[in-house]
Structure 1
């Protein structure tokens, strides 16, 4: 959903995740549409995007993405009251778009707000009591405009599962939240293909903090970053091995404590948690794309037995391997061809 003045980076991120080609035959991960008030949305730096006017849009989207704005200071500073009878004067977003957004949400669509796009959800009255985040620099402005929102400005991504609302801190986390929300709809197999095409390691976790992820470590230098990336790539290619944090630290040429600090700064989580996540992600793809038994899949991703795989799924995804396969097997088959 596009408005004039939105940030081109925030617009490009969901276009690449949801609409980028993932196979030589031109296959795209899903059908992507852009909607707005008119036929064109004007972005920053002279760019514009063609949009389908609301009155001509007849689809029922599963996900609606709301990008942030190129001038967040203007959005953040608009702390005026939002009277119902004078909404147009108080809100940068026209009521027609806000009404449409509310209607899509009521019909079951998941909403994904990128950075200051979270403000749009607030203007639409969708953030009261909602767990959410935005860029840390503008969180106070969001709190002034939507005092009933449950804002955690430390989070890169916030997901209010009950309300079906995803919000993010903006910037690079736009890609993370789009991938994470898409995985909840289409499964890890489809999203894994998107990540590989985009040359991404994996989306950062939903509970990563804005101030810690990829923060520089004094004296770390480029060598430390490269060591972590080398370990990351090696472990991914050999998940069936029984990796430990001590083994990964040895491979990186660091002490365990130093490796843990570097790894947390780069990946936003501890090495042990990352390892569980990677094994669960690999298992997800095998569950979607193969008929292998759960026991065989557990062995292939480096877990001792099916019970360990079930524990990993419960902790990371809140479901079981069997339930995951039942939900996403058909989705994977449809998107792979």
Structure 2
């Protein structure tokens, strides 16, 4: 038989635990009800004027609207190291909902494979994927190259002379360049930049031969007056926004590459705050005005809720690990 004093102690402990649990729950609920109470930083791991930056600035007013509480979102550019600087800052930030950011594939998946990193895709609470933008090779309008076959012929006759601008080592643009080299038996020269905006500037200024720029970004630059032309696009099928440009596969180069761009936060967000962010993103994607703006910007929307997004990232990681074993993509 249990001593009465012991029973009383256990009862007091049980009540205290229940009160603590309740207080934690109420505190979390109160935190969510009041959230956001100060500006939210939205990290973009690439330079101003790139596809992610432009989408982030278009997205911010919609997220603010659906978060309520007079939310204010501040876009912070943290370019460099192929995205690793921004991804690291996002992973290390406080998990309170006041720092969120874009995570971009394949860089998010390839950087931890190729070198020691302070992040992996599991370092984040995923809020949802937004964009799926196929890669492309572009040239200046005055460049005589018209097709990938032209590029291959020229590169074979001039080894190392073709310069390819990308958003960094291990990016989809860089991997596309390496795959093209292997499948065409050519030798190209890699020129990494801090974002697609810089690649566009280098291409427009005649500093590089090829701008490896995603379809949506390139179309927007073209619309803005950059004199560029497509040699091929890397989607499974031709983009609806670019129906006259054949895919790499159609031109005999059997690979496809694209960049997923989604929102994430540091791991360990309070559940109610995470729910609020996930819901605000979903409502943004469903907003016809947002969809119209995305179309105007040639930003190919592909919403994935957190669980589906995680599956896609896990599958991509496995694929890149295999690719790394077969052919490491670091510059020689």
Larger radius of gyration: 2
Q: TM-score, normalised by structure 1?
A: 0.27
Larger strand fraction of residues: 2
Highest RCO, 1 vs 2 (Cα 8 Å, sep ≥ 6) = 2
Q: TM-score, normalised by structure 2?
A: 0.27
